[in-house]
Amino acid sequence: MHGLANLSPRQQLLAGNLPRRLLQLALGLFLYGFSIAMLVQAHLGLGPWSVLEQGLLRLLPLSFGQVVVLVGAVVLLLWIPLRQWPGLGTVANVLAVGPALDFGLWVLPEPESLGMRIAFMVAGVVLNGVATAVYIGSQLGPGPRDGLMTGLAARTGRSLRLLRTGIEVTVLAIGFVLGGTVGVGTVLYALGIGPLAQFFLRWVVVPLPDVRPLGEPEPTPS
């Protein structure tokens, strides 16, 4: 869909257009973290994983961004029994989103009026959709949470939609119990992020002229 290819980690690096893809990956991950900061400052509800991370923040002597890195690393470890291989983008996702979130919390003011909080919420969800499309479109590997879901689907035979719903409801419930913010922003995020990412993806997928199927030999020069 939209020119996305199913690549091994090695293919991701050898598929061509690497400088542009690395730049796009970095931009997408920065915008992703920054968009979460906008939702945090709006105080109107977060996405399921952010609710969990905000709940854990109450228990750990860490910044919000550091908790995001920690959760991403734990999720990545869960790839091991699933025999999933992370790409460069997967590892970068774990390491980069948290610092970008902390930067956003540092530079963004907390809006006081309800109108500004709503504006932050809507802008944060839209920007998160753009950022998701941008980093996925770099074709350098999925984020750790997406990879966990696709890995579970491959190993269990369950539908991706069922597993995604089950995982996100679980992390949302745990985060809510721990004190994470659930609200209208949570609903808006859940309903909007998929369609938004798909909508923007058509413009940001990097074409890969050198993609070859796994196991296919290099063409012999004529």
pLDDT in tens, the chain (222 residues): 456 777 778 888 888 889 999 999 999 999 999 999 999 999 999 999 999 999 999 999 999 999 999 999 999 998 888 888 888 999 999 999 999 999 999 999 999 999 999 999 999 999 999 999 999 999 998 888 888 887 787 788 877 778 888 888 999 999 999 999 999 999 999 999 889 998 998 899 998 875 643 344 444 444
- Output phi, psi for 87, to 5 deg: -90, 180
Which amino acid, 92?
A
The per-residue pLDDT for 75 is 93
Joined tokens for residue 71 = 């959760």
Residue given tokens 């400052």 in the structure block: 41
| pLDDT for res 211 | 62
Q: In the prediction, which pLDDT does 3 show? A: 66
Query: Are the beta carbons of 125 and 48 closer than 8 angstroms?
Result: no
Q: Distance between CA atoms of 99 and 149, rounded to whole angstroms?
A: 24
In angstroms, the CA 184 to CA 180 distance is 13
pLDDT in the model for residue 184 = 97
Mind giving me the DSSP string for 89-124?
HHHHHHHHHHHHHHHHHHHS----SHHHHHHHHHHH
Question: Residue 3 and residue 136: Cα distance in Å, rounded?
Answer: 11
Strand, coil or helix: what is 182? Answer: coil
CB 77 within 8 Å of CB 144: no
Which residues, 6+ apart, have CB-to-CB distance to 58 below 8 Å?
178, 179
